[in-house]
Amino acid sequence: MSLIEAQGLVKRFGDFTAVDGIDVRVEAGEAFGFLGPNGAGKSSTMRMVGCVSPPTDGQLRIFGMDPVRDGPAIRSRLGVCPQQDSLDLELTCLENLTVYARYFGIPRKVARERARELLDFVQLGDRADSPVEPLSGGMKRRLVIARALINEPEIVLLDEPTTGLDPQARHLVWERLFRLKQRGVTLVLTTHYMDEAEQLCDRLVVMDAGKIVAEDAPRALIERYSTREVVELRFGLDGLDTYADKLAGVGERLEVLPDRILLYAADGDDAVAQVHGRGLTPSSVLVRRSTLEDVFLHLTGRTLVD
């Protein structure tokens, strides 16, 4: 049985359709991602799965149960790390966890032990008795992750777990999430960072405007929708379109962005040689491997982070 099963899932807010009929299946033990830009419907989907937002239409089953009827039973087995930290700023770090544990009916003694362990796990052990407010963004996010684990959940829902964090703080969060994954916890996360999706997800769906536009393992998506390598060319700011004509036929495909041209080719260096062969002199040339960003660009014609 799949842990999460959605069929034709729809969420509308008035006239606005946030989620427009998606089919999703998440199996036990996998790390599943929703990749898409802001407003793609990722958070709305996560809130429905978290049983805090009733679906407008379609089928949704979590642990084989109905989120509207069995909300409390489902939520008792979920760990939720929402996009906004939603910590209790009036309480200390330890209290944030012990108070939260009580909402799950965890006995006080067990709650205290688990809270200490989790604070150590997210490397906040020495902050147990300090208030939440002065913590950095990365520390707060780690505390939220610890809070999400207090009930030893079978699924952890992470909505944009590293948005707004600096690179170092992000890597620390990723490393902790990777450990969770190794322990066999099912992770479901949303992100608009392709590197996050590539690093953490076994399988992901690409979402755009409330719909799923592709679904597979990150590597497989790249192989299917992009070439092995990409050449980024810059020619100053004007007349990129005229260069596009001159580059026709080089590589398999080309995308004109506001500030650069992307050439998709199996062999990047060969493509660069062809560009020079046509007498063109770009101001900068970068050959790199294809990423999920390229997949998204190909599928939707837009970039992930705008």
Q: Can you give the binding site for other proteins, defined by CB under 8 A?
A: 13, 50, 52-54, 71-73, 75-76, 78, 80, 82, 84, 86-91, 95, 98-100, 102-105, 147, 151
Q: Which residues contact 264 (CB under 8 A, 6 or more apart)?
A: 226, 227, 229, 230, 251, 252, 253, 254, 255, 290, 294
* Beta carbon of residue 286, minimum distance to other proteins (angstroms, whole number): 42
Comparing CB distances to other proteins, the nearer of 76 and 283 is 76
Q: Which residue has the tokens 């092995």?
A: 228
Comparing CB distances to other proteins, the nearer of 189 and 194 is 189
* Beta carbon of residue 85, minimum distance to other proteins (angstroms, whole number): 9
* Beta carbon of residue 102, minimum distance to other proteins (angstroms, whole number): 4
* Beta carbon of residue 16, minimum distance to other proteins (angstroms, whole number): 12
Q: Using DSSP, how many helices (H) and how many strands (E) does the chain show?
A: 11, 13
Strand partners, 186: 155
Alpha-carbon span 189 to 187, nearest angstrom: 6
Comparing CB distances to other proteins, the nearer of 159 and 198 is 159
For 83, the 3-state DSSP assignment is: coil
Comparing CB distances to other proteins, the nearer of 43 and 226 is 43
* Beta carbon of residue 99, minimum distance to other proteins (angstroms, whole number): 5
Distances (CA, A) of 30 to 33, 84, 198, 267: 10, 24, 14, 33
Alpha-carbon span 155 to 75, nearest angstrom: 10
Q: Dihedrals φ, ψ of 7, to 5°?
A: -135, 120
* Beta carbon of residue 107, minimum distance to other proteins (angstroms, whole number): 11
Comparing CB distances to other proteins, the nearer of 88 and 259 is 88
User: Which H or E run contains 103?
Assistant: helix 93-103
Residue 231: both structure tokens together: 């050449």
Comparing CB distances to other proteins, the nearer of 80 and 221 is 80
* Beta carbon of residue 163, minimum distance to other proteins (angstroms, whole number): 17
For 178, the 3-state DSSP assignment is: helix
* Beta carbon of residue 248, minimum distance to other proteins (angstroms, whole number): 49
Neighbour-count burial of 33, counting CB atoms closer than 10 A to its CB (0-12 exposed, 13-18 middle, 19+ buried): buried
Please state, as a whole number, how many other Cβ atoms lie within 10 Å of the Cβ of residue 250: 22
Comparing CB distances to other proteins, the nearer of 89 and 244 is 89
User: Which H or E run contains 232?
Assistant: strand 229-234
Angle CA 97–61–34, to nearest 5: 70
Residue 235: both structure tokens together: 């020619």
